[in-house]
Structure 1
Amino acid sequence: MAKAFASQGDLTEKKITFDEVGRGLWAFTAEGDPNSGVIIGDDSVMIVEAQATPRLVSKVIEKVREVTDKPISHVVMTHYHAVRVLGASAYGADQVIMSDVARAMVVERGQEDWDSEFQRFPRLFEGHESIPGLTWPTTTFSDSMTVYLGNRRVDIKQIGRAHTAGDAVIHVPDENVIFTGDIVEDHSACYCGDGHFNDWGGTLDNILAYDVDAIAPGRGGALMGKDAVKGAIASTRDFVNSTYAPAARVAARGGSLKEAWDAVREACDPKFSDYAIYEHCLPFNVARAYDEARGIDTPRIWTAERDIEMWNALQA
């Protein structure tokens, strides 16, 4: 490669925060690294997003133990990406939950995604030798399911394609809080390499329809209050649209991937260059936007080899 991926040089330890977003609901965040959520029920705890390795999970468990000694009974994954799921075994949960679509994506591309992400983001795989293998759910759902943690109701639902085809959100009605996974980000770039740009806006509209009081997003800080929620949804929408539109214009006139890259940078750099993981995501976002604009509905599988091929084309 002409130079390394930006994520390969991102070796700085991030500051962890642990914010209560509702009664017994917590957001584990780390300056743009993948977030996890904590839902404390009457007798047990549900975790949203597992982190990339068992060693990183230990940091989440440490925070959980500061607020409750209840056992962790459920882990819910909003989608299939390696940095979200490969640490799940460390929780020792009775149930590991994904949508049917997310499980199918583990079957189709889980190992390739692991290899790709491991190559380009080594810091997030601290302690990778402790990963026992691909994470498989014990429980799946086709549209929605409800879990009761004692009297606390937790609704898990697919509300549209966005970050991946298998995205799910987790809503806790008694506090009107939603865990969105990577459908919504706060001052962090969206990773769109497996995304569906033309569907993303409608899915954001579906989140808006919940009219929640707080969001624990996929990356970035906890969003407390309706103004913060609406602001993050708006900025996520702007990021997605600002990435897709320039790439689509280049694709429509038969331009190259490199031309799409230049066009997206011109549109997005002034607005988003200070966002967390912006440079990390950008090449993958441009490649996917360019593909979707050319009629490729199902995102092509990223492999370690394809990553390098794409990066070299952009650096030429």
Structure 2
Amino acid sequence: MAKAFASQGDLTEKKITFDEIGEGLWAFTAEGDPNSGVIIGDDSVMIVEAQATPRLAGKVIEKVREVTDKPISHVVLTHYHAVRVLGASAFNADQIIMSRVARSMVAERGQEDWDSEFQRFPRLFEGHESIPGLTWPTTTFDDGMTVYLGNRRVDIKHIGRAHTAGDAVIHVPDQNVMFTGDIVEDHSACYCGDGYFNDWGGTLDRIKAYQVDAIAPGRGGALLGQDMVNKAIESTRDFVNSTYEPAARVAARGGSLKDAWDAVRESCDPKFSDYAIYEHCLPFNVSRAYDEARGIAHPRIWTDKRDIEMWEALQG
């Protein structure tokens, strides 16, 4: 029987956890599904990542209301992917914040990404009919910006390309806690289909230099303590390198995309096959690694049609 494409066969509901990772800082996680973060200030709340639909965002709001009745004033989106941003309307926030580069990617490829992700992972789009349209930020930044939630300072920074060109990290200095989006994952595959393999390691180094006490990663459990933080950073680095290097060797000798697929599987399967969304990510990761190794500097736009053409080429 042919394998289901991406996560079309993943219909199992995931268990939600809601962990305090610093005073007034919470990680909303769900067994490898997209995470969200919660930052409680003096008078209001900032949400990090909005989920894929307003209905799923409602599950985050339910958890927020278990710990505070303060209004939600800000939503920060670490990048443009549909599963991260399309639920933003549910929060009724005063500001929706993205990097300027991430906003440009909504304009360039937001609808194509939505159509593609909806096809790949239908379970994550529960209540998709409630999405009002593409999510646009009200506020953008280049290298960084600071938001004060009363006396609580929140630094939002673009410190390098990795998962996408416009990734943001959110650092809360008073607790030395960071929300990394999909730059760092824990026991979950990195999605590299829109990534920059040769930049990713340097961006991880800049996160590591903060020596934070906790991280809410893009997927996987909350990381508490510098040992867990550093272990996840290094396992993310290993995943990215173990994907790129075999694909680059194949590209250098003029091999095919299917050859790259076989080489990456040989490298990654023994170490990462039990990671969340591993099979989902693999074909996109191999395609992007093969492209980057052949000199295609910027990720090509994924569409629902291109997804299937790629999958058929690899399966055929």
Q: TM-score range by the shorter chain?
A: over 0.9
Residue in 1 that maps onto 2:41: 41
Q: Give the letter aligned to residue 104 of structure 2.
A: A
Task: Mark the runs of 5 or more structure 1 residues left unpaired by the alignment.
Answer: none
Aligned to 1:137: 137
1:157–1:169 contact (8 Å) kept in structure 2: yes
Q: Amino acid of the residue matched to residue 289 of structure 2? A: A
Aligned equivalent of 1:147: 147
Q: Partner residue of 2:271?
A: 271
Secondary structure in 2 aligned to 1:147?
Answer: strand
Q: How many angstroms apart in 2 are the aligned matches of 1:33 and 1:23?
A: 24
Look up the match of 1:89.
Answer: 89
Using the TM superposition, give the Cα deviation of residue 6 of structure 1 relative to its aligned residue in structure 2, in angstroms.
Answer: 3.7
SS for the counterpart of 2:28 is strand
Alignment match, 1:9: 9
Establish whether residue 170 from structure 1 lines up as the match of residue 185 from structure 2. no
**Structure-2 residue corresponding to 1:105:** 105
1:305 corresponding residue in structure 2? 305
In 2: Cα distance, 1:2 partner to 1:232 partner: 33
Secondary structure of the equivalent of 1:98?
Answer: strand
1:46–1:75: 8 Å Cα contact kept in structure 2?
Answer: yes
Q: For 1:218-237, what aligned pairs fall within 5 Å after superposition?
A: 218-237=218-237
Give the structure 1 partner of residue 241 of structure 2: 241
Q: Distance in 2 between matches of 1:254 and 1:164?
A: 26
1:74 aligns with 2:74: yes
- Matches of 2:142 and 2:22, distance apart in 1: 28
For residues 116 and 17 of structure 1, the distance between their equivalents in structure 2, rounded to whole angstroms, comes to: 28
Whole-angstrom distance in 2 between the partners of 1:207 and 1:142:
18
Query: Partner of 2:7: helix, strand, or coil?
Result: helix
Residues 2 and 312, structure 1, Cα contact 8 Å, conserved in 2? no
Shift of 1:66: 0.3
Please list the CA deviations of residues 228-249 of structure 1 after superposition, one character each: whole Å capped at 9, or x if unmatched: 0000000000000000000000
Asked whether the equivalents of residues 115 and 304 of structure 1 are also in contact (C-alpha less than 8 Å), the reply is yes
Q: How big is the shift at 1:263?
A: 0.2
**8 Å Cα contact 1:46-1:73 kept in structure 2:** yes
Q: Indicate if the aligned counterparts of 1:176 and 1:213 stay in contact, CA closer than 8 A.
A: yes
Deviations 1:295-314 (A, max 9, x none): 00110000000000000000
Structure 1 residue 3 displacement after superposition: 4.2
Aligned residue pairs, count: 316
1:26 maps to 26
Match runs of 1:138-217 below 5 Å: 138-217=138-217
Deviation readout 1:1-51 (Å, 9 max, x if unpaired): 954214000000000000000000000000000000000000000000000
Instruction: Give the 3-state SS of the residue equivalent to 1:21 in structure 2.
Output: strand
- Contact kept, 8 Å, 1:212 with 1:226, in 2: the verdict is yes
**How far does the alpha carbon of each residue in 1:129-175 deviate from its partner, in whole angstroms, 9 at most, with x for none?**
00000000000001100000000000000000000000000000000
Cα deviation per residue 1:54-91 (whole Å; 9 max; x = unaligned)?
00001000000000000000000000000000000000
The one-character-per-residue Cα deviations of 1:176-209 (angstroms, maximum 9, x if unpaired) are 0000000000000000000000000000000001
TM-score (structure 1 length as normaliser): 0.99
C-alpha separation in 2, matches of 1:119 and 1:180 = 26
Give the aligned residue type for 2:15: K
In 1, Cα distance between equivalents of 2:33 and 2:229 = 19
SS of match in other structure, 1:135 = coil
**Is the contact between residue 144 and residue 157 of structure 1 (CA under 8 Å) also seen in structure 2?**
yes
Q: What is the one-letter code of the residue matched to 1:125? A: F
Structure 2 gaps of 5+ residues are: none
Match of 1:35, SS state, is strand
CA distance in 2, matches of 1:240, 1:155: 26
Following superposition, the deviation at residue 110 of structure 1 comes to: 0.1
What SS does the corresponding residue of 2:96 show, helix, strand or coil? strand
- Residue 121 (structure 1) aligns with: 121
Distance 2:115 2:53 in 1: 14
In structure 2, C-alpha distance between the alignment counterparts of 1:280 and 1:101, rounded to whole Å: 26
Name the SS for the 2:270 alignment partner.
helix
TM-score by length of 2: 0.99
- Contact kept? 1:213, 1:225, Cα under 8 Å: yes
Residues 231-282 of structure 1 deviation map (CA, whole Å, 9 limit, x = unaligned): 0000000000000000000000000000000000000000000000000000
Structure 2 letter corresponding to 1:96: I
